[in-house]
């Protein structure tokens, strides 16, 4: 898969099939668009592409909320889908382009023959145009495939719904709608050493900016560190018992020993255990952490036993 963070002077593929959208969550709804794109592009011998935007510095007005995965994490997932090219120019380059001009850009620059988007797709300056408008603009130039909204558990799958579930601590359902467990990737930073000296050792990560924040509390988790995966238990919050901490993800990694400072690790949340609490001292906190660890191990084992079935 080739990723272009700026548009090349000439696009290498002769004829393309293109998925359009921000794809900031790659949830099951997004994956339905991508799956259809790849299948049809193979049948019609078109190069499967995704046209999205780098929104690090500027995001569309309708996409101002926190991310569900980083662009780096998104690209790792896309590598396994069959997409050959990802174009992600900076959004500022296109924010003032009208809908018709954008549609014609697709045909002239990408030589697009088939376009794929969801029912709720919006585009053009001010996001004034919709999927039906795209079909009208491209009539006679390219086929437009509008993928029906995917529903689960009674309503449409959307990034907004998934983020609300995370805020409520319902990570299990959020993971089902994502099609994978919600994950956090960030480097391990040095803390005050309280965990190592008085509690249980933890790998501390400053919570990424502009990233969806789940309910503060303790989660059964899996940590990918130093090339291996480990059962773990993670607290997300501000450490009310000891005070004075920024928003952190603190993960006690079972059966691990070593130095992770500076290493970027990925922590995957599997299930919510309890909300964040303030305890009467470190002894009470340590006792609760040990109980949480026992439960987290049990959840981890049950989770992966179910996945294996």
pLDDT in tens, 248-268: 999 999 988 888 888 899 999
Q: Is residue 201 predicted with pLDDT exceeding 90?
A: no
Cα 152–155–156 angle (5° rounding)?
80
The residue ranking higher by pLDDT, 195 or 49, is: 49
Q: What is the pLDDT of residue 198?
A: 41
Ranges in the chain annotated CATH 3.40.50.620 = 2-149
Please compute the mean of the pLDDT values over residues 194-203 and round it to a whole number.
64
Tokens standing for residue 295:
């439960």
The residue ranking higher by pLDDT, 193 or 139, is: 139
Q: What are phi and psi of 264, to 5 degrees?
A: -85, 120
Residue range 2-149, CATH number: 3.40.50.620
Which CATH superfamily, name and number, covers 180-308? Riboflavin kinase-like (2.40.30.30)
d(CA 198, CA 133): 62
Tokens standing for residue 151:
């529903």
Ranges in the chain annotated CATH 2.40.30.30 = 180-308
Q: Is residue 64 predicted with pLDDT exceeding 70?
A: no
Q: Is residue 6 predicted with pLDDT exceeding 60?
A: yes
Average pLDDT, the chain: 86
> What pTM was computed for the model?
0.85
């Amino acid at each position: 898969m080739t990723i272009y963070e700026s548009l090349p002077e000439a696009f290498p593929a002769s004829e393309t099939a293109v998925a359009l959208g921000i794809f900031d969550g790659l949830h099951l709804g997004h994956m339905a668009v991508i799956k259809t794109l790849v299948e049809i592009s193979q049948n019609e011998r078109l190069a499967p592409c995704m046209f999205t935007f780098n929104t690090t510095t500027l995001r569309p007005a309708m996409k101002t909320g926190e991310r569900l995965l980083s662009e780096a994490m998104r690209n790792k997932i896309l590598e396994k889908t069959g997409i050959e090219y990802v174009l992600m120019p900076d959004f500022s380059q296109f924010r003032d382009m009208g809908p018709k001009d954008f549609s014609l850009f697709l045909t002239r620059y990408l030589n697009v023959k088939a376009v794929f988007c969801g029912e709720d797709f919006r585009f053009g300056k001010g996001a004034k145009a919709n999927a039906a408008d795209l079909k009208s603009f491209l009539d006679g130039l390219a086929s437009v495939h509008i993928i029906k909204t995917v529903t689960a558990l009674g309503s449409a799958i959307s990034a907004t719904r998934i983020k609300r579930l995370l805020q409520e601590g319902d990570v299990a359902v959020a993971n089902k709608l994502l099609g994978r467990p919600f994950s956090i990737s960030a480097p391990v930073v040095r803390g005050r050493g309280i965990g190592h000296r008085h509690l249980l050792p933890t790998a501390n990560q400053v919570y990424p900016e502009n990233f969806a924040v789940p309910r503060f509390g303790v989660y059964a988790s899996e940590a990918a560190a130093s090339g291996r995966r480990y059962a773990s238990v993670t607290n997300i919050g501000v450490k009310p018992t000891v005070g004075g901490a920024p928003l952190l993800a603190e993960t006690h990694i079972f059966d691990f020993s070593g130095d992770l400072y500076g290493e970027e690790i990925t922590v995957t949340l599997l299930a919510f255990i309890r909300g964040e609490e303030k305890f009467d001292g470190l002894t009470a906190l340590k006792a609760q952490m040990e109980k949480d660890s026992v439960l987290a191990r049990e959840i981890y084992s049950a989770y992966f036993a179910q996945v294996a079935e």
